[in-house]
Amino acid sequence: KTDAFLLREAVVEAQMAQVQVSEDTIIFNAEAFRVAEGSMLEELIRKLPGYEIENDGTVKYNGRAVSKILVDGKEFFSEDKSIAMKNLPANMVKKVKSYEKKSDFAEMTGIDDGEEELVLDLTVKDGAKKGWFSNIDLGYGRPTQEVKYNIHNLYTVKGMLNRFKDNEHYSVILSTNNVNDKGFPGGGGGRGGGNGMNQSSMGGFSMAKNLGEEVQKNKYQFQIGGGVRFFHNDSDVQSQSASETFLTQGSANSFSNSSSLSNNESFRVNADFRFEWRPDTMTDIIFRPSVSYSKSNNASNNLSATFDKDPYETIEDKYADEGYEPLDSTWTDDSRINYNSRQSAGGSESTSVNGRLQINRKFNSKGRNLTLTLNGGYSTSESFSNSTSFTRFYRNDSTSTINRYNTTPSKTYNYNTRIMWSEPLWTATFLQLSYQFNYRYNNSDRSTYNLPDVLDNWSLPEWILPDDYERYRSEELSRFATYENMDHDITAQLRLIREKYNMNVGFTLLPQHSKMNYQYMGYNIDTVRTVFNFTPTMNFRYRWSKQTSLRIN
């Protein structure tokens, strides 16, 4: 016959460990650090020992900059760490890991090349992997203080949508506002867009997915990852100042007034992806394409004047009923020393395309590898600037006028190819032989035009260039340059990998050929240079433990 007894409850209490150490990985238990409800990842990272976040968004751990943020081992918005810091909710994070991630070459070949990068890897809670989750912020209002220029109602719209699973993740982010917010959804440290009225928008998409069968532990037949990001900012700034400079005894004080109005607009979009294909356990192919486009425009109007008497007292005495200002161009009082009117306009547009293909083939399990790497890039850009200045010096009744226009189109392309053979000599000792060819070409053609002394063709935010500006080209101030460079890199290295230390000893032969053509101020320089460099190298790393090491290069 069975019987039962009702027991009183038992309470077990324990302090959750904040930090764990596994090999060379430092692991922080996120739940052991309290943050306010609704906080983003940035607030959590600030509480972790050893971490710091600088004003420009750089994340450092023990003084060393973090290169990338990973989510469950997969890249999140490439190298743009601020998106993760300001958008991922802190309560979705289970663990925060810091470790040195090996290069693509080291992961492909299994040979440590010593080129690691520090990453921050987030482990997502199981509960956050069961569906989609999002953050949405909306705000609308009226300015509390009127301004003379660009009065707007205020608004902010922010949102982020995420889905995380074991073998894939997707994230979408959108934001627009005119309240000087940096444009990152999710709250937390949003201010800091700059002076004046700023309208900023940004958006992006990031994804990572494993496809096909698992050919090795955590390595799938196909892996795809990458993202697209765009940014737009439009700012209007108006400023006025009046100052008095107190000079030494016996000298009259100096007075100055200035007023400025400026507009700056910029747009940028970039995309980068990573494709990896493992057709079998011995072959690995990685392709990393990227493309970017940017465009900007700016214009400003500045007035300034200096006086040897307080101009406001002069206005009260002589022009009280005429609405005069110290910067009126028709000022006639003898207290004015000089007057300056400056206008400027500029802009730029650039496009770049880059790609990297890396193929590795293992021939045995002891470290015999053949690696082929191909890189290529092309970029084109064009910028222009115009500055006009009129200065009147009242004491000697003279004037100075400058009206100058510059345009600089440029083009750059480069490619390189590298082939490397790794041969195991004996246990954990390898001989590496490699050959690399690099080619780079750059073309820049800067033209300068001294335009007529006309100041009535200005308007903000756009400036109109005269139709016949080409006839004012200055041959003395214009310049043209092309640069062409070809390098050969022949390297032999002996690589030793031991439990406590790694060492690379070798040499590099560098034949180089370059050609430059330069035309400026009537000079035409056409130079060809051929050099041969010999570079012995030694890299040594000793590890007393997984957390303490010494490097000598």
The pLDDT tens digits for 351-384 are: 999 999 999 998 887 878 899 999 999 999 999 8
b vs e for 74-107, b when ≥16 Cβ sit within 10 Å of the residue's Cβ?
bbbbbebbbbbbbbbbbbbbeebbbbebbebbee
Tokens of 499: 């439990």
**Is residue 381 exposed (0-12), middle (13-18) or buried (19+ Cβ within 10 Å)?**
middle
Amino acid at 208: A
Tokens of 219: 């390595």
Mean residue pLDDT across the chain: 83
**Mean pLDDT score, 73-91:** 80
Predicted pLDDT at 149: 47
Instruction: From 415, 483, 407, 406, select the one nearest 443 (Cα to Cα).
Output: 483
Q: Determine contact, residues 37/29, Cβ cutoff 8 Å.
A: no
* C-beta atoms surrounding 53 within 10 Å: 18
Q: Which residues pair with 353 in a beta bridge?
A: 291, 378
Instruction: From 398, 310, 390, 305, select the one nearest 344 (Cα to Cα).
Output: 390
Instruction: From 240, 244, 164, 150, select the one nearest 199 (Cα to Cα).
Output: 150
| H/E segment holding residue 420 | strand 398-426
In the block, tokens 């109109």 appear at: 464
Lowest mean pLDDT among 123-137, 292-306, 528-542: 123-137
pLDDT at 454 over 70: no
**Is residue 550 exposed (0-12), middle (13-18) or buried (19+ Cβ within 10 Å)?**
exposed
pLDDT at 424 over 50: yes
Predicted pLDDT at 456: 45
Instruction: From 440, 515, 435, 445, select the one nearest 480 (Cα to Cα).
Output: 445
The pLDDT tens digits for 89-102 are: 888 888 988 887 77
pLDDT at 510 over 50: yes
pLDDT at 469 over 70: yes
pLDDT at 188 over 60: no
Cα Rg of the chain, angstroms: 31
In the block, tokens 């004015």 appear at: 336
> What percent of the chain lies above the pLDDT cut of 90?
28
> What percent of the chain lies above the pLDDT cut of 70?
88
Give Cβ neighbours of residue 536 (< 8 Å, ≥ 6 apart): 506, 507
pLDDT at 224 over 60: yes
**Mean pLDDT score, 417-444:** 92
pLDDT at 53 over 90: no
Give Cβ neighbours of residue 436 (< 8 Å, ≥ 6 apart): 416, 417, 418, 419, 487, 488, 489, 491
Q: Determine contact, residues 455/341, Cβ cutoff 8 Å.
A: yes
Predicted pLDDT at 459: 42
φ/ψ of residue 34, rounded to 5: -85, 130
Predicted pLDDT at 457: 43
More confident residue, 147 or 9: 9
Separation of first and last alpha carbons in the chain: 78
pLDDT at 187 over 90: no
3-class state of residue 337 by DSSP:
strand
pLDDT at 268 over 80: yes
- Per-residue pLDDT band for 532 (boundaries 50, 70, 90) equals very high
* Bridging pattern class, strands 64-65 and 59-61: antiparallel
